[in-house]
Amino acid sequence: MQVIKYVFQPHGDDRGQLVSLEEFKDIPFRIKRVYYMYDTAPGVTRGKHAHKSLQQILICIHGSCKVLLDNGKEKKIVPLEKPYEGLYVTNNMWREMYDFSDDAVLMVLASELYDESDYIRDYDEFLEFVKNCGDTTAADTEEGDKK
């Protein structure tokens, strides 16, 4: 399984750092939604679902967390601990976010508006779904292969 982690360009000077993200330039899709989570309680695991078509970039802009990615065949754990790194999470990918530091702020850039019907929240249903759709993810397309 290919894990795609983007390293964004910080524009640093003696005042500090600034990261700018533009759709189709730094991010491989049109950004239709941004959300973020913070004050995550100790020991909590979030996510535990996949999306049928949503693509996202996860950026831990403060603190740290870990993300488990599972494509139904392979699992990988990706630490997120730098505000200039973004993890590309394609459709058809089970994800779990955990091990949040007290100060963690996890920001997500999403390719679609919120749509509960895009979620697969049952793991067995997810395995069946990826089996039937031939594991095709947006990352397999030319657009998702940019970096």
Name the residues annotated as catalytic. Answer: 49
Residue with tokens 């089970």: 94
Does 66 interact with ligand T46 (rule: CB under 6 A)?
A: no
Report the residue from 5, 46, 52, 82 that binds ligand T46 according to the rule CB under 6 A.
46
Integer Cα distance of 147 and 140 in angstroms: 12
Nearer to ligand T46, 12 or 102 (CB): 102
- Segment interacting with ligand T46 (CB under 6 A) among 8-16, 29-37, 128-136, 138-146: 29-37
Please choose, from the candidates 90, 73, 70, the residue with its C-alpha nearest in 3D space to the C-alpha of residue 4.
90
Does 122 interact with ligand T46 (rule: CB under 6 A)?
A: no
Integer Cα distance of 60 and 42 in angstroms: 16
Query: Coil, strand or helix: which one is 28?
Result: coil
Tally of CB atoms within 10 A around 42 = 8
Minimum Å gap between C-beta 15 and ligand T46 is 31
Report the residue from 3, 11, 35, 44 that binds ligand T46 according to the rule CB under 6 A.
35
Contact present, 66 and 15 (Cβ < 8 Å) = no
Report the residue from 27, 59, 95, 104 that binds ligand T46 according to the rule CB under 6 A.
95
User: What length is written for the chain?
Assistant: 147
Q: Given the rule CB under 6 A, which residues bind ligand T46? A: 33, 35, 37, 46-47, 56, 95, 97, 108, 114
